[in-house]
Chains A and B, each alone.
Chain A
Amino acid sequence: MTETIAKTEISFTVNGRPRTVTVEPRKTLADTLREDCGLTGTHVGCEHGVCGACTVLVDGKAVRSCLMFGAQADGAEIRTVEGLAEGEALAPLQEAFIRNHALQCGFCTPGFLMLITGALDENPDIRDEELTEILSSNLCRCTGYRNIIRAAIETAETLRRSRGAA
C-alpha cells in the first residue's frame, strides 16, 4: 500500500530559491510546501478548494495548493507568504493588513495575502470592485472581511501611486 507507492523527484523554485524534493505522487502542493520545504506559512483549512487558506502563486497565478499535486508544480516558480517581505521590510500589503486590523487569528491571512498579491501583480490597474469580487473566493471566520477589503484597496492605491511617481 502506502509504502510501495513510488516517490517522484520534483524541482521548482520557491520564493526565488531552487528546491528539489522527493514526494509521493498523491501529495498535494500544500503538503509538499509545508512538510518537504518547511514552509508552514501556507495553511490548510479545508483541503476541498473552498476556503483559500492554502492560496499560493504558481507562475504568478493564485492557486489553491490543496487542489494541486506537488508533482504538478515541477519546474514552476512558486511564491508563498514567506517570500513577501524583503528581509525585515514588510511588503506594502503586509503593512496595510496590520494598519487596517485586517487579521485576527491570522490563519486565513497568508491565503488572502497571496490572493491579493496575485491579483495586483496580474493587473496593477485592477478596479476596486474587481478586487473586492476576487476577495470573495477566500474565507475568513474572524474579521468580517471589511478590513481586508480596505487593506487591499489601500495597497492597490499605494502601488498605483508609487508607479506613477517612478
Chain B
Amino acid sequence: MTASDKTEAKPLRAERTRWIGQRVTRLEDRPMVTGTGHYVGDLNLPNQLHARVVRSAHARGRILGIDCAEARALPGVAAVWTAEDLGDLPPIPFRATSIKGLDPYCQPCLARGDVRYVGEPVAIVFAETPQIAEDAADLVFADVDEIAPYLDATQDPPDFAEGHGCEPVVIEKGYGDAEAAFAQATHVIELDLGIGRHSGIPMETRGALAVWDAGRRRLDMYGATKRPHWNRDRLAEMFGMSPSEIALHEPHVGGGFGIRGELYPEDVLVCLAALRLGRPVKWIEDRREHMQSANQSREQTHRIRAAIDADGRILGIDETLWHDQGAYVRTHGARVADMSIGLLLGPYRVPAYRARAHYRLTNKTPAATYRAPGRFEGSFVRERMIDAIAVRIGLDPMEVRRRNFIRADEMPFARNLTALETEVILDSGDYEGLLGKALAFSDWQRLSAEAETRRAAGDCVGTGLGFFVEKSGLGPSELVRVSVSTDGRVEVVTGAASLGQGMETAMAQICAETLGVHYNVIRVVHGDTDRIPYGYGAHASRVTVMTGEATRRAAELLRERALDMGAELLQAAPETLDILDGMIVSRDGAEVSLAEVARHLDPASATRGAREPGLAAEAWFHNKHMNYPYGAHTAMVSVDPETGAVRVERYSVTYDVGRAVNPAMIEGQILGGLSQGLGGALFEEFRYDESGQPVSVTFADYLMVSSAEMPPCDILILEDAPSPLNPLGLKGAGEGGVTAAGATIASAIDAALGRPGLVERLPATPQYIRRRIAEWDAAHGTPEGADA
C-alpha cells in the first residue's frame, strides 16, 4: 500500500494541523536574539594556540626566500611554517567534473615557488595569543621577485607554469545549426557585456578550531559548514588518515552565500597544526583578510550574438565568455563558467545555440560560487539582449518575451545542454503566466506611465523588468534520520548544513506535518559528520528539496511504525488511527502518545514483539535532475544624471517556488538576496590596481547595501508550477532574490535616461553611468529632452 492510499482511508487526517505553507516563527531565533548562539569565534579549548596567516603582498612573483627567524624567536610563538614545512601535503582538490586538465592549477596550502595573488598564504604562525601571532606574522619576511601580473582575462593568457598556460580549458556547449540560424537572420545583434567581481561577504568572517586527541586518534574541527562530509573526506585523503578519525562540526554560522564552508587552505593548516603540534589550534580571519582570501565570484566578460527574424523571434544565439577565475582552481573547478553557458538561455526557446567559455587564471583572489552563480551573470546578459531585440524590432520587451517563451504545454522541456553535470530539463513552468501576474502585481502599467510623466517633467525615472529561471534541488542524494525519544521529542538528523537560512524550521515543518506533531518539539541536527554517515551539504538551493523530501520520507516511515505499535496498544486497526499533535488517536477517542509508543519500542520492552527497537526511521532521497523555479523582478529607479547616482524607488519580485514551505522565510530569502543583487548591480566590486593590489579590502571600499539603499519590495510567491520531481512539488528558493537584480536595474536605468543599451557592465556605479552617458551621446547623439 502506498502512503497516499492510506491517507484516503483516514478520516481524522483532515483535522490535522497544517505546517507546510505556514508562516511560523523560526526555531533558530531564540539563541540569536539573546546572544547565546555560538559561532566559531565564540568557541575556545583549553591550551589552544592561535594561528595567523602571513599573506603575499605581491600579485605575482617568484619566492626567493622566506625569513621566519625573527618570528620564530618571539616569545610565545610555538611554530612558523612555510611550504617547506608542509612536506608533501597535496594541494586542495576540487570536485571533479567531466572537465579535464585542471589539476596543475590547484592551490597549495602555502605558496610554493610562486605567489599568485595578493593575500595568498605564504606562511603561518602559531602562538599563545592572537596578539602574539599577529606580531610574529609581521616579522615574517617573504623575498619575492616580482613578475608583471595577468589581470584582464580577455587578454591572451600567459604561462601559468612550465608547460601550462593560464587558460586550462575552453568549455564548449551547443546544439542545432547556429551557422544556418545566423545566415537566415533578418537581424543580428551583438552585445559586449561585463560583470564585476563580487563576493558573498557574510558578516561573520571565516574561522576554524581544531583539536587532535592522539590517544583516541581523533581529529575534531569546529567551524565547518556547507559541505562537512566532502571536506572531511578530503582532509582524510590529504593527511593519509581514515575518515573515521576525523569529525567536522558546524556551530552557528554567520551567513555563507556559497563562499563559506568550502575547503580553504586555512582549514587544512589549522587541522594539520592540531595534528602536529598536539594542541588545539584556533584561527579567526579578520575582515581585511576575508576580502582578499575568501572566494570571489561573478567576474565575466560576455560577447553575445543573437540571430533574430523579422518578428523578433530568436533563431540562434552565439555566446563567448571570458571567466576570470583568479589565481587558482578552487573546490568548484570550472563549474561557474560551465553553468554560465549551460543555463544562459533561461525561459526562452532558442533553436540553435553555440557557446564557449574561456576559463582563465589571473592574479586575483581565486573565484568560486556566490549565490546564483552563473545566473546573475547570465540573466544580465540574456535580458540585456531581450531589451536590445525590443529596440531593434520596435516592440515592447514584454512582447519579445512572449514571442520567445517556452510554453507551459512544452514542459518538461529538454534543453539539450548540461549544467552541474546534469542534463538541463526544465521540469515545469508557465513563463507567460508568471509574466502576466508579475506585471499586474507590480502595477507595471501605472508605474511605467508615472515614470513617463516624470520624464516629461524633466526627471530621469524609468522602470525595468528582468525575467529569470533559477535552478534548485541538485542531487545526487540526501539521507535523513528521524527519531522520537521517550519524552516525545523528535530529532531530525541530516547531513546538510545550515548557514542561517532557516533550514531547521523548514525541515521541522515538513516533519511535523507528515508525522503529526507540533513543529516546536522537533530538533534538527545538521552539519555534523559524527551524527550521520552521508551528507551533500547546503548549496545550490538544494536543502529544501533534497533534505526536505528525505525528511518527508523518513517521517512517513516513522509514522507507519508508530501506528503499527499504537494499533496494538489501542486494540484498533492502524488505518483507523491518526497522529494529532504527538498523540495517536483512534475513532472512539482512545489515545496513546508517541512518547509512550517509544517506550514500548525500547529494546528490552516486552510489548515490542518482533518490531525493530526504537521509534526511528531513516530514508534516502535520490534525484538525478535539478528543478527550475522561475520569476521576474521589476524596478522603478531614478537617476541623477549630474552625479550618476541611482535611487531604487520601488521593487517587486514574483517567484514561483513550486511549493512554499514557509512563505515568511522565503520572503526573507528574497529580500536578503535582493540586497546582494542590488549591491552587485550598483555598488559592489573588488577592484585591483595595475600592479594587482586589491583596492577593495574594507567595508569602506567594498560598498554593500545598507537599509538606506534598500527599497521597499513587494513579493509575490506563486505555487503554480510544483516540481514533478518530488511529491511535495518543492523547488528551492534561496537564490531568486539575486538572480535578475542586475538585469532589472540595468533595464530601468536605460529607461530612466532614455538611452537604450546604456548599461553594459555591472556594477553601474555613478562614475560608470556618467562615463556611459558621455559615450552613448557621442555615439548616438543626446536623446531629445535629455540632459546633455
Contact = CB atoms under 8 A, between A and B. Distances in A.
B745 to A, nearest CB: 15
A107 to B, nearest CB: 3
B25 A99 contact: yes
Interface residues of B, number: 63
A80 B31 CA distance: 14
A27 to B, nearest CB: 9
Interface string A41-61: 111111110110100000000
Contacts of A44: 41
Contacts of B135: 1-2
B75 interface: yes
B700 interface: yes
Contacts of B37: 41, 106
Contact of A82 (B34, B675, B700, B708): B34
B129 A104 contact: no
B220 to A, nearest CB: 20
A107 B255 contact: yes
Given A44-B41, A46-B287, A107 B254 contact: yes
B712 interface: yes
Nearest to B34: A85
Given A1-B74, A141-B257, A97 B203 contact: no
Most central of A146, A148, A149 by chain B CB within 10 Å: A146
Contacts of B311: none
A156 interface: no
B213 to A, nearest CB: 25
A141 B35 contact: no
B255 A141 contact: yes
A51 B129 CA distance: 25
Contacts of A82: 34-36
B25 A105 contact: no
Contact of A106 (B74, B252, B668, B673): B252
A43 B284 CA distance: 13
B698 A50 contact: yes
Interface stretch (B238-246, B336-344, B498-506, B638-646): B498-506
A62 interface: no
Interface string B27-65: 011111111111101100000000000000000000000
Interface string B14-33: 00000000000110111111
Contacts of B499: 105
Nearest to B665: A101
B698 A45 contact: no
A90 B671 CA distance: 26
A136 B704 CA distance: 11
A136 B710 CA distance: 10
Contacts of A24: 131
Interface in A1-21: 1-3
B699 interface: yes
B406 interface: no
Interface string A89-118: 010001001110101111111100100000
Nearest to B254: A107
B666 to A, nearest CB: 10
Interface residues of A, number: 56
Q: Which has the most chain A C-beta neighbours within 10 Å: B34, B36, B204, B699?
A: B34
Contacts of B737: 144
Nearest to B286: A47
A141 B200 contact: yes
Nearest to B710: A145
Given A99-B25, A101-B665, A142 B252 contact: no
Contacts of A98: 25-26, 29-30, 33
B132 interface: yes
A40 B676 CA distance: 27
A81 B35 contact: yes
Interface in A113-149: 113, 132-133, 135-149
Contacts of A76: none
B253 interface: yes
A160 to B, nearest CB: 21
B36 A108 contact: no
Given A1-B74, A98-B25, A147-B671, A103 B287 contact: no
Identify the interface centre among A2, A97, A109: most chain B CB within 10 Å of its CB.
Answer: A2
Nearest to B711: A146
B254 A94 contact: no
Nearest to A90: B33
A34 B35 CA distance: 11
Contacts of A53: 203
A2 B36 contact: no
B668 A101 contact: yes
B34 A50 contact: no
B613 interface: no
A42 B39 CA distance: 11
A68 interface: no
A143 B34 contact: no
A67 interface: no
B75 A3 contact: yes
Contacts of B699: 46, 48, 50-51, 139
B32 A106 contact: yes
B756 interface: no
Contacts of A136: 706-708
A40 B203 contact: no
B671 A146 contact: yes
Given A41-B36, A135-B707, A147-B668, A106 B29 contact: yes
Contacts of B29: 97-98, 103, 106
A132 B668 CA distance: 18
A104 B707 contact: no
B442 interface: no
A107 B203 contact: yes
A101 B704 CA distance: 21
Nearest to B36: A41
A82 B287 CA distance: 25
Nearest to B204: A107
A97 B664 CA distance: 13
A135 B705 CA distance: 12
A166 B191 CA distance: 66
A39 interface: yes
Interface of A: 1-3, 24, 26, 34, 39-48, 50-51, 53, 80-82, 84-85, 90, 94, 97-99, 101, 103-110, 113, 132-133, 135-149
8 contacts: A2-B129, A41-B37, A46-B287, A84-B33, A99-B25, A101-B667, A141-B201, A144-B705
Interface of B: 25-26, 28-39, 41-42, 74-76, 129, 131-132, 135, 200-205, 252-255, 257, 286-287, 499-502, 664-665, 667-668, 670-676, 698-700, 704-708, 710, 712-713, 737
Closest 3 CB pairs of A and B: A41-B35, A105-B500, A106-B32
Given A105-B255, A106-B37, A141-B257, 18 more contacts: A3-B75, A26-B131, A41-B35, A43-B39, A82-B36, A84-B34, A101-B25, A105-B499, A107-B202, A107-B255, A107-B500, A108-B203, A109-B32, A109-B33, A142-B672, A144-B675, A145-B675, A145-B705
